[in-house]
Amino acid sequence: MTAGLEPRLAGKIVLVAGAGSSAAGWSIGKASCVTMARQGAAIVALDSQQEAAEDAAHEVEKAGGSALPVQADVADPAAMQAAVDAALRRYGRIDVLQANAGIGKVGGPEDISLEDWDRIQQVNVTSLLIATRLLAPLMREQGGGAIVTVSSVAGIRYTGYPHLAYSVSKAAVIHFARMAAQQYAADRIRVNTVIPGLIDTPRVAKNVARMFDADARAASAARDRQVPMGRMGTPWEVANAVAFLASDDASYITGTELLVDGGLTGKYA
């Protein structure tokens, strides 16, 4: 932020769905909470695990911001209604939704179970319907708002290993946002998607070694080599993109995608 200027998200109330981290360290959700708090927003840190929600909220408060930790399954309409009600009791409004929650499981068409397929679609895609139905009417009544979905390069490219259910769900996230953007444009509700590439997060560190059949350090180096810029991205680099699209600096941007991938998808174009 430039000295003397008001923070980009001053006065905004942001609900981050998928705010926590699956392991010690910085996830995209947790980095987004802190980044947007530093830019003036109050944060509703929602996660399926209460401890993860509280951890994200604690980091916001350490950074000087205001945060409300909320536990909810994003695929459960009643739980999400309760979470929104709690946010409204605390802050009175919700200006921004960051739809960041997501799960996946490695496997192709013959490997993925129907149960895993259904759960991945529910958490990654149906959750968008649930949250949008809850928040769009509030945003319309408030005079506008912003929804930022988080997809993945896996939603637009094959990334080197079978990740079918996750990849299909992330493609759906992109198209959901495009369709919602058209429907809500006249209500001044902007809907956009951030598409991260290979990002160095705790989930990646925990899981990617199995995909590459290597130890964590070798797996990380292999992913670095895939990227034209020579390294994986950081959660903070994705969080900066989210914060931009959430802000009024992006007031004439809706129905589009912002790639944060170090050139990866261009390599395979």
Residues assigned a catalytic role:
166
Tokens for 266?
A: 């261009």
**Whole-number Cα distances in Å, 255 to 176, 181, 182, 183:** 9, 5, 7, 10
What's the CA dihedral at 157, 163, 169, 173 to 10 degrees?
A: -40
Tokens 């200006």 found at: 95
Q: Judge contact between 108 and 166, C-beta under 8 A.
A: no
CA distance 168 to 50: 28
Tokens for 127?
A: 């959750």
Gyration radius (Cα) of the chain, Å:
18
Strands 42-47 and 13-17: parallel
Name residues whose C-beta falls within 8 Å of residue 159's C-beta, 6 or more positions apart in sequence: 153, 167, 198
Q: Judge contact between 63 and 37, C-beta under 8 A.
A: yes
Burial of 191 (0-12, 13-18, 19+ CB in 10 A): buried
